[in-house]
Structure 1
Amino acid sequence: MKPLSSKKKILILDKNSRMLSVIDDIMYYGDFDVHLTYDPNAIYDKAKVINPDLIILDYLLLDVDCALVCQDFKDDAQLREVPIIVVTSFKTKKGLEESYKCDALFVKPLDMELLASRMEYLMAS
């Protein structure tokens, strides 16, 4: 029998490799099982398979609306309780956290200590 992993699973959608430094920092701040996808059309299916403890989305998904991706998760009975963090470089988008249906929104450049603290809080809730 294989032992169950106690690591928290984080699923990250990074459309154009803009979040690679964030991923490195996340690994530095905690011992997480990080799953990365570059395809916004595949993130929902990947989430169904790995059942993540947290999802981090790059706001700028180009051909896919970030709010729609968030809504897909919140409409799914299996995934609706998974917290979602949206990362953006657009300061004007900060007020739209509620419209994304996400649990937190961070504007780049990121304060990694604050992000790590929020990640821990959301995964503990």
Structure 2
Amino acid sequence: MNTAGPPQPERAQILLVEDNPGDVRLTEEAFKQGRIENDLHVVSDGAEALEFLEQRGEYATAPRPDLILLDLNLPRTDGEAVLEELKSDSDLRSIPVIVLTSSRAEEDIARSYELHANAYLTKPVDPDEFIDTVRAFEKFWFSVVRLPSEVE
């Protein structure tokens, strides 16, 4: 008798590129409360994000993310440079990128979309609203949208 049950869906691999520990904590909390099984990987600057995505150095065995949450205001390499590099790489450009930032500047919004961001969200200041925002896009991206699978 087979007691394994139905196959479980694979866990979503999410890369959070965020240097603010408070925002990292809120994002982790939002994903814990959500219904989507995920592995949240966190890097704190743009250079680290590129190492993770290109599987270099300590990230040699890092998984390919299904979704990237990218802050724009990052140390070392800023989010705009990460987005530009990511979307110019034929192996990585199909990974959806959500810019999640405190900037409300029209030029940041326009530039992010010019660089092929899939969405631009401004972080709410209120912690409960922040968690609601993260849960809303988690539900949208992992329940509604069909994401590309990695093509070998």
TM-score band w.r.t. shorter chain? 0.7 to 0.9
Report the alpha carbon displacement of residue 80 of structure 1 after superposing the two structures with TM. Answer: 0.8
TM-score of the superposition, structure 2-length normalised?
A: 0.68
Q: Which stretches of structure 1, 4 residues or more, deviate above 4 A after TM superposition?
A: none
Deviation at 1:8, TM superposition (A): 1.0
Shift of 1:99: 2.9
Aligned partner of 1:56 among 59, 63, 69: 69
What is the one-letter code of the residue matched to 1:26? F
2:12 equivalent to 1:11: no
- Tell me, in whole angstroms, the C-alpha distance in 1 between the residues paired with 2:71 and 2:50: 14
Pick from 68, 80, 86: which aligns with 1:73? 86
- State the identity %: 22
Instruction: Provide the rounded CA distance (Å) in 2 between the counterparts of 1:45 and 1:98.
Output: 23
Aligned length: 122
Structure 1 unaligned runs (5+)? none
Distance 2:99 2:123 in 1: 11
The aligned residue for residue 147 of structure 2 is 124
Larger radius of gyration: 2
Aligned-CA RMSD value: 2.4
Say if 1:36 and 1:24 are closer, same or farther in 2 by CA, change over 3 A: same
Match of 2:53 among 25, 41, 47: 47
Contact 2:44/2:74 (8 A) holds in 1: no
Q: Contact 2:66/2:147 (CA < 8 Å) preserved in 1? A: no
